[in-house]
Amino acid sequence: MNTHPPSYPLNELCVLADLPVRTVRYYVQIGLVDRPEGETRAARYGARHLEQLLLIKKWVAAGLALERIRELLHGAPPSVPLRAPGIGSVVVCSHLTVAQGVEVMIEPNAAGLTPEQVRRFINGVMAAYAAAVNDSPAGSGLTQQHDKKGEM
């Protein structure tokens, strides 16, 4: 049980973890390591921060990507649930042909979209493609883009 409050400054934490100051500060900035108590000169770190750093060090040496390490450390589920299709499962998808060489594949169940949402999305995709490909004159083209961006 850890009852000691965070007590050492950044430099000491780095010596204990045997990592450069910049690297530790980077991990704090991207949220991999918890923030300290206090700020800049008054910042204090404790055993919890050291633990996190040592774990990160181990996983980096093992070749894990930082995003994966983030999941492991903070236990948050990945933002998109990984779908493992069962053997023999059948999935029906819609293929929308936007243009020659541009296709959008939609599986509404997995995406969680209602039919109205799918329709709006398709309209948006077609309009975005048209805007990207045509050299529209300055006035009308830009306004259209502004509107579309506001809508979605």
Residues in contact with another protein by CB under 8 A are 10, 20-23, 25-30, 39-41, 43, 60-61, 63, 65-68, 99, 101-102, 129, 132-133, 135, 138, 141-142, 145-146, 149
- Give the nearer residue to another protein in terms of CB position, either 104 or 113: 104
In whole angstroms, the minimum distance from the beta carbon of 60 to another protein comes to 5
- Give the nearer residue to another protein in terms of CB position, either 77 or 101: 101
Distance CA 74, CA 32 (A): 8
In whole angstroms, the minimum distance from the beta carbon of 26 to another protein comes to 4
Q: How many residues does the chain have?
A: 152
In whole angstroms, the minimum distance from the beta carbon of 108 to another protein comes to 19
Bridge partner residues of 96 (DSSP):
104
Name the strand (E) or helix (H) holding 36: none
- Give the nearer residue to another protein in terms of CB position, either 96 or 145: 145
Read off the DSSP letter of residue 101. T
Contact 44, 7 (CB under 8 A): yes
Q: Is 50 left (phi over 0), alpha (psi -120 to 50) or beta?
A: alpha
- Give the nearer residue to another protein in terms of CB position, either 46 or 115: 46
Nearest to 78 by CA among 87, 68, 86: 68
In whole angstroms, the minimum distance from the beta carbon of 103 to another protein comes to 9
